[in-house]
């Protein structure tokens, strides 16, 4: 392997490990936080950044081809739908007026 291939491999592996770390941190945040909005914040940010880093690592390791274009479209779709769904769920929680322990506020 040439030096350029090693650099590409190490960069791809670093991005994959970073993405895995952020997704695992998101899962831990979902179990650790009690309030719904804090959970949604951890899930939304960790999921978005984690998938970006994972797909970026895959893109670097696989090289540029038609597969790369498909992965870029998947990244765009996941970023759009993840942010919108997290926002709508948080807005629904705020509008419902429930408290952290699940009881309705007066």
Q: What is the mean pLDDT of residues 15-41?
A: 88
Give the global pTM.
0.75
Q: What is the mean pLDDT of residues 16-22?
A: 95
The terminus-to-terminus CA distance of the chain in angstroms comes to 67
104 Cβ contact partners less than 8 Å away, ≥ 6 residues apart: 97, 98
Helix (H, G, I), strand (E, B) or coil at 98: strand
Tokens standing for 20?
A: 């895995």
Q: What is the pLDDT of residue 106?
A: 47
For the purposes of burial, counting CB atoms within 10 Å of the CB of 38, is it exposed (0-12), middle (13-18) or buried (19 or more)?
middle
Beta bridge partners of 104: 98
pLDDT digits (tens, 9 = 90+) for 42-63: 888 888 889 889 989 998 998 8
């Amino acid at each position: 392997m040439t030096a350029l291939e090693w650099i590409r491999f190490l960069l791809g592996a670093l991005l994959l490990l970073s993405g895995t770390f952020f997704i695992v941190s998101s899962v831990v945040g979902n179990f650790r936080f009690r309030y719904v909005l804090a959970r949604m914040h951890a899930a939304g940010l960790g999921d978005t950044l984690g998938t970006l880093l994972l797909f970026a690592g895959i893109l670097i390791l696989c090289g540029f081809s038609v597969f790369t274009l498909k992965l870029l479209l998947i990244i765009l779709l996941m970023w759009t739908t993840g942010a919108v769904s997290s926002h709508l769920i948080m807005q629904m929680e705020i509008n419902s007026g429930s408290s952290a322990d699940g009881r309705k506020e007066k």
